[in-house]
Amino acid sequence: MIPMVDLKRQYHNLKTEIDAAVSDVLEQTRFILGPNVSALEEEVAAYHGLPYAIGVANGTDALLLALRACGIEAGDEVITTPFTFIATAEVIALLKAKPVFVDICPDTYNLDYSRIADKITAKTKAIIPVHLFGHPADMAPIMEIARKYNLKVIEDCAQAFGAKYQDKKVGAIGDVGCFSFFPSKNLAGYGDGGMVITKSETIAKQVKMLRNHGSSKRYYHQEIGYNSRLDEIQAAIIRVKLKKIDQFNAARRQNAAAYCAAINPKEIILPAAAPGCEHVYHQFTIRAKNRDILAEALQKEDISSAVYYPVPLHRQDVFVKLYNASEKLPVCEKCAQEVLSLPMFPELSQDEIRLIADIINHVS
């Protein structure tokens, strides 16, 4: 069997270091906002060349707290992509604001900046670009639009830790960067976890307060906040992996190159890497008109594949009901019918890649 991601292989490679890190936390018995959380925050901030990083409970909370820290309120509008996991838009709706969906680029699956200006109104307060599948969104024109209309930019980097756009790491370009450490991510814990990074002291202080019940001093509360603290054991595990993230991402790029060399592109659209972008291939996602037939052929050989995402957000029942949505976004709708993500993780072998490619080539 070839899974989408093999967490056991990586754990066995890092077992000695991870077991020692977890054991140390258990010995210290400092489980909430302990030294590993503080150290990881410093290390992630330094990795991105920013002064502030705040650990939170998960990637969804990272987005939610970032929006609140940026002043997003009920009645505001936030522009984002319809082609992503629901959390990106869910957090907007949770604040009683409105997600405004803009169609995507057909090659990178990211927000199409050329369509943003048409969706801006007097209620628009922010843009959330998603660096989908590990490929950076086109941030330069997005930032230009944001400056022109005085909008906040919250980068959803859940799938893109370490990716670069014009030699700058994603998350360090907008006002805020938000990360997930869900187990399948390219930098991951063994449970939920998230991080917010920013160059703004004001935003950092607000996120730090919101994650801890709206309190900056114990038992004194300035805001209605959340219980959204990164777990100390998860922080210890992630610290072990952070040391190797560039190595892991390089292995993903090598695997992607092997896929591209082995798959016949005649009937398949392979992932693109735009000039000036360093892709980290959280997913290796192809497009094919016979997507479902390919998935069935792989499944017969006990090889996993996945569709990210079968229903764009503007077509999800919850948003149709909430906003009476009826607009057509043809690019993402077409992509949703054709995308197929193949197994991708640093430890994937060349033999496994060739086997997967042979099946795809045979079916295509």
The CA distance from 289 to 295, in Å, is 12
Q: Please give the pLDDT value at position 342.
A: 98
Percent of the chain with pLDDT over 90: 97
Question: Would you kindly state where each structural domain of the chain is located, as residue ranges?
Answer: 7-102+110-242, 245-363
pLDDT higher than 90, residue 327:
no
Q: Please give the pLDDT value at position 154.
A: 99
Helix axes 201-210, 59-69, angle to 10 degrees: 120
Q: Please give the pLDDT value at position 326.
A: 74
Q: Please give the pLDDT value at position 170.
A: 98
CATH of domain 245-363: 3.90.1150.10
Tens-place pLDDT, residues 274-322: 999 999 999 999 999 999 999 999 999 999 999 999 999 999 999 999 9
Instruction: Check: CB of residue 115 under 8 Å from CB of residue 129.
Output: no
- Nearest Cα to Cα of residue 357 among 280, 277, 262: 262
Mark 227-245 as b/e (b = at least 16 C-beta within 10 Å).
ebbbbbbbbbbbbbbbebb
Pairing of strands 124-128, 152-156: parallel
Q: What is the DSSP letter of 313?
A: G
pLDDT higher than 80, residue 166:
yes
CA 321 to chain centre: 26
Q: Please give the pLDDT value at position 129.
A: 98
- Mean pLDDT for the chain? 97
Question: Facing residues of 286 across strands?
Answer: 340
Instruction: Check: CB of residue 155 under 8 Å from CB of residue 143.
Output: no
pLDDT higher than 80, residue 325:
no
pLDDT higher than 80, residue 209:
yes
pLDDT higher than 90, residue 324:
no
Tens-place pLDDT, residues 11-56: 999 999 999 999 999 999 999 999 999 999 999 999 999 999 999 9
Tens-place pLDDT, residues 239-250: 999 999 999 999
The CA distance from 137 to 147, in Å, is 17
Tokens read off for 95: 């604040």
State pTM to two decimals: 0.97
Architecture, CATH, for domain 7-102+110-242: 3-Layer(aba) Sandwich (3.40)
Q: Please give the pLDDT value at position 141.
A: 98
pLDDT higher than 90, residue 364:
no
Tokens read off for 352: 């496994």
- Nearest Cα to Cα of residue 116 among 147, 87, 141, 92: 141
Q: Please give the pLDDT value at position 244.
A: 98
